[in-house]
Amino acid sequence: MLTGKKILITAGPTHEPIDPVRYIANRSSGKMGYALALELAERGAEVILISGPTTLKLKHSHISMIDVETAEEMYQASIKAFPQCDIAILAAAVADFTPKAPSKLKIKKQLNQDEMIISLVKTKDILASLGHTKNKNQIVAGFSLETDHEIENAIKKLKTKNLDFIVLNSLNDIDAIFGSDSNKITIIGKGGEQTAFDLKDKNEVAIDIVNFLQKLI
């Protein structure tokens, strides 16, 4: 049981505005983060779920919802919530870049216009920020979605962001793509130890991750 533990979860995509009607986003559904939040709450934890825009609904007496839209909003909410938390598992697919100067008015297509160039700037790294500011009693974990050199890239992320474990999932598995109800993961611990799991429903994947977390605690 996780009674008495306060846990921060991030979920879903972020929407980075180009103008009032357009934005840059990704294909994240938020299903994995929501499944984690529910499993943790069912085991007695008090969960703060910071969610980007999704169609999902979740009500539980142990879950406090914070809705955000942009990467900056998710960063600010996470930084504010983390000091009061024992654990943070960041499952959100946060945009790495955001438009430098979003237009306040809808951008009109010009008759002779063949292209539009949008300047992007890097967003703040939420996972690294929490990983490098955590105290000795806090646990921080994240997800690594990879298309190549998967284990190598996940371990690099684990080390550079000072995480306690990382959950690797691959876009190379057709049944574990964005938006699906299933996922296939490998959990990599701080010492580099790897535990691979079969393709499972995301609710079952959440159970595997929380079981790993409880052993770590």
Largest Cα–Cα distance of the chain, in whole Å? 63
Nearest to 138 by CA among 192, 91, 84: 84
pLDDT at 193: 94
pLDDT at 176 over 70: no
Average pLDDT over residues 7-16: 98
Least reliable range by pLDDT among 10-24, 88-102, 106-120, 150-164? 106-120
DSSP codes, 89-104: EE--B--SEEESS--S
Tokens of 105: 């008015």
Q: What are the backbone angles phi and psi of residue 189, rounded to the nearest 5°? A: -80, 175
Tokens of 158: 């684990």
pLDDT at 174: 59
pLDDT at 145: 84
pLDDT at 177 over 70: no
Average pLDDT over residues 151-168: 96
Global pTM value: 0.94
pLDDT at 58 over 80: yes
Q: Mean pLDDT across the chain, nearest whole number?
A: 94
pLDDT at 209: 97
Nearest to 48 by CA among 87, 21, 98, 103: 87
Average pLDDT over residues 168-179: 69
pLDDT at 170: 74
Half-sphere exposure for 186 (CA within 13 Å, toward CB): 19
Does residue 192 come out as left (phi exceeding 0), alpha (psi in the -120 to 50 range) or beta? Answer: left
Determine the Cα–Cα distance for residues 6 and 82; give it in Å rounded to an integer: 9
Q: What are the backbone angles phi and psi of residue 145, rounded to the nearest 5°? A: -95, 120
pLDDT at 1: 83
pLDDT at 179 over 70: no
pLDDT at 153 over 80: yes
pLDDT at 214 over 60: yes
Task: For the chain, give every domain's residue range.
Answer: 6-100+119-216
pLDDT band at 31 (very low <50, low <70, confident <90, very high): very high
Give me the architecture of the 6-100+119-216 domain, per CATH: 3-Layer(aba) Sandwich (3.40)
pLDDT at 110: 84
pLDDT at 133 over 80: yes
**Number of other CB atoms surrounding residue 175 within 10 Å:** 10
Determine the Cα–Cα distance for residues 103 and 181; give it in Å rounded to an integer: 36
DSSP codes, 109-139: PPTT-------EEEPP-HHHHHHHH--TT-E
Determine the Cα–Cα distance for residues 192 and 120; give it in Å rounded to an integer: 34
Residues recognised as catalytic: 26
Average pLDDT over residues 38-50: 97
**Percentage of residues in the chain with pLDDT exceeding 90?**
84
Q: 3-state class of 34 per DSSP? A: helix
Determine the Cα–Cα distance for residues 78 and 109; give it in Å rounded to an integer: 37
